[in-house]
Amino acid sequence: MDPATHQLLQKLGSAFGEAVGSVFSMLTGREFVVTPGSEASLSASEVAHLHERPVAVKAAYAKGVTGAMVFLLPLTQSTQLVDLMLGGEGAASEELSGDSRDALAETFNQILGSANQTLSDQVGETLSISGVEILFLEGEEGVAALLGEGSFEGLKLTIAQDQLSADLHLLAPGMLAEQLRRKLGLGLPSNEPEAEPQTTPLAAPAPAANPMRGASVDTGNLDLLLDIELPVMVRMGHAEMPLGELLKLTPGSILELNRAADSPVDLLVNGKQIARGEVVVVDGNFAFRILEIESTDTRIRSLS
């Protein structure tokens, strides 16, 4: 395996390993330890033989890169994990369907959200998925039909807990792996030619990052950055609940947030709070009135 792909899998292993351990532990109330293991470039045939009865979790990227990340784990351990999340003792089952299937999909949706935030911080732009699918693979033809016929860059994550031990394989199809290598500035695999200097995109993000670092903010070249688009979000509060209660939500259900009705709400830019204010209505649309805001220098530093 070439050095660039090895570095990529190390970064993916760190981001997703931490996310898997954190989400599994939070949802089950039990401590999970996740350890990155072996790396390999795998064909569809080799993927088909990783587990006897594999369950695939497929997450298609919608922003930042294109393609789908795939997680592969055994059916038995999948059902044990879901049973733990739903308040059981980790009992195994012969099938994964209904609420159990939805629970597994929501679990990996949270894992991907957490890991993609880490990767987004590293590449300097947002990486996000459009949704998660739970697939059941049968043989090499099934792998090729559902996941594609190309090669995969694979990493094994070993999951350990008192009631459960399993190997979870993270699989990045070749085209997705190449995009992530470029985004992370890891170059090309050794068997691919280097791009011409005038066309390489690897150095592009640097000018936008440097003016925002250091003890003081130099706004002399700030005009160069004023056309950059950033995600803006108004946060009214948050709530935590067991996964079992989350799956019971229906239209009309009410979630109680951790904030009083008359408390200011937060304005976040690129995931970081820069102001507080109140929600108002303007011409029939919701709007945000700023009551408190950070200084210009503080706002610029917060986006670094």
Residue 172 lies in a domain: yes
Please say whether the beta carbons of 4 and 189 come within 8 A.
yes
Is 149 in the same domain as 273?
no
140 and 50 share one domain:
yes
Rounded Cα–Cα distance for residues 135 and 58 (Å): 7
Asked if the structure places residue 103 within a domain, the reply is yes
Mean pLDDT by 10 residues, the chain (304 residues): 88 92 89 89 82 87 89 90 87 86 89 91 89 82 70 90 87 90 76 46 41 45 66 83 83 80 81 83 82 74 63
pLDDT of residue 112: 92
Q: Is 78 inside any structural domain? A: yes
Is residue 218 located within the same domain as residue 282? yes
Domain membership of residue 176 (yes or no) is yes
How many Å apart are CA 222 and CA 242, to the nearest integer?
Answer: 45
pLDDT score, position 203: 42
Domain assignment of residue 188, yes or no: no
Amino acid identity at 247: L
- 249, 115: one domain: no
Residue 105 and residue 221 share a domain? no
Whether the Cβ atoms of residue 10 and residue 134 lie closer than 8 Å to each other: no
Give the pTM: 0.61
Burial label for 23, CB within 10 Å (0-12, 13-18, 19+), is: buried
- Do 124 and 271 have their domain in common? no
Who's near 257: CB < 8 A, 6+ residues apart?
236, 237, 238, 239
What is the CATH classification number for the domain harbouring 224? 2.30.330.10
Q: What is the pLDDT of residue 12?
A: 93
Q: Give how many domains the chain has, as a whole number.
A: 2
127: nearest Cα among 92, 202, 179, 166:
179
**127 located within any domain:** yes
Statement to judge: residues 173 and 281 lie in one domain: no
Measured distance CA(162)–CA(160) in Å, rounded: 7
Mark which of 137, 165, 183 sits at the end of a domain: 183
Q: Check whether residue 41 and residue 155 sit in a common domain.
A: yes
Question: What pLDDT is stored for residue 7 in this prediction?
Answer: 92
In a domain, 193, yes or no: no
Question: How high is the pLDDT of residue 224?
Answer: 58
Domain that holds residue 289: 214-302
CATH number (domain holding residue 126):
3.40.1550.10
Residues 59 and 153 in one domain: yes
Q: Kindly state whether residues 83 and 9 are assigned to the same domain.
A: yes
CB 57 within 8 A of CB 108: yes
Domain membership of residue 30 (yes or no) is yes
Q: Looking at 144, 162, 183, which one is the last position of a domain?
A: 183
Are 174 and 272 members of one domain? no
Same-domain pairing of 137 and 262:
no
